[in-house]
Structure formats: structure tokens, C-alpha cells
Amino acid sequence: LEPCNHHGRTPPCSRSLVASKVSRVVVGVGDPNPLVAAEGIATLEKAGIEVAIMDGAERDACYEINADFMARMKAEAAASTA
């Protein structure tokens, strides 16, 4: 998933990656959690970190691995706009 940019049970992954001075991050699939909302990717890019986002079969495989989470996030998003 896309690295988070908010405090939850753990600190923001995106900020840890920036602090670690990595040069490139590969994101398997974007995170549908509205708390993330592509802000993790924006934080990385703003810090000069190259971000590659998978597509095609790789993206589909990452989505499938996280299918339960993806379904829950989409259901919660739909409920909040209803």
C-alpha cells in the first residue's frame, strides 16, 4: 500500500521513509483510506524521493492481497457520503 501520512497505531510511514533518506519507493497500490488520500506519495515526492506506482498485474496482485482492507475502506467511504 501507499505509505501513510497520518498518525494511527503507528507513526506516519511516509515521514519515516523521508527521515531514512531513501531515494525511491515502489507503491504496489494506492490506499483508499481517506486519511491517506495520496498524501503519503505527495510527502515523498516533496522530499525529492522518486515514487513508482505499480500498474497492471502487479497492481492487481497488491490489491488482491489487501482485498479485505480495500473492501472495508470503500464501504466506510460510501457510508460517510450517504
The 3-class SS string of 5-38 reads CCCCCCCCHHHHHHHCCCCEEEECCCCCCCCCCC
Flag whether pLDDT at 14 surpasses 80. yes
- The pLDDT value given to residue 82: 62
Q: Per residue in 30-45, pLDDT tens?
A: 888 877 778 999 999 9
What percent of the chain clears pLDDT 90, i.e. is strictly above it?
A: 61
- The pLDDT value given to residue 76: 82
**pTM of the predicted protein model:** 0.80
- The pLDDT value given to residue 31: 84
Q: What are phi and psi of 66, to 5 degrees?
A: -105, 25
Through-space distance between the first and last CA atoms of the chain, rounded to whole angstroms = 26
